[in-house]
Each structure stands twice: as C-alpha cells, then as structure tokens.
Amino acid sequence: MGGVEVQLKHFGPVRTGGDTVVYFPDLKIVALGDLFVTAAPEPDFSAGGSLVGWDPCWRACSSSTSNAWARSSGRVSARRR
C-alpha cells in the first residue's frame, strides 16, 4: 500500500465477528479501531462478538513490536510497556 507493508490479523470474534487488526510493521503502529478500550470490553453479541476473542487479540497486540496503537477515533496512543 504505497510502499508501506500492511498486515491484516483476524483473531476470531472480539467486539464483532469480523474484527480485524491492522499492523504496519515498518511504522510500528497497530490499528485497533474500536477494539482499543480503556474500560471493560463490551462485545456486540448481536454482531457475533465474543469475550473469548479478547484475550488472544490483546496478547498478540501486546507482544508485537509496535510503539503506538491507533483507535477508531481520537489520537494515536503511545504504547506503555
């Protein structure tokens, strides 16, 4: 995509049944969309969401080499380690 490597990751149902995490390894940014939450996760069960998918998703994102996480709205957040 414009010379930037993009990796799409699907960890199964998380907030909805079709959640996808987008990783830009060269930029070290993970785009989480509405999976980025600061409170308890709230799956949309009517859209196929599940609490079961949150753990594998967060473990994978946490183990990435990213320096920042982008949410669906608001600012990009520097990752705390």
Domain chopping of the chain, boundaries: 7-78
For residue 3, give the amino acid letter: G
For 8, the token pair is: 């799409």
> What number is the average pLDDT over the span 48-65?
86
CA atoms in the 13 A half-sphere facing the CB of 80: 0
5-56, pLDDT tens digit by residue? 999 999 889 999 989 999 999 988 888 888 887 778 889 999 999 988 888 8
Q: What is the 3-state secondary structure (H, E, C) of 18-78?
A: CCCEEEECCCCEEEEECCCCCCCCCCCHHHCCCHHHHHHHHHHHHHCCCCEEEECCCCCEE
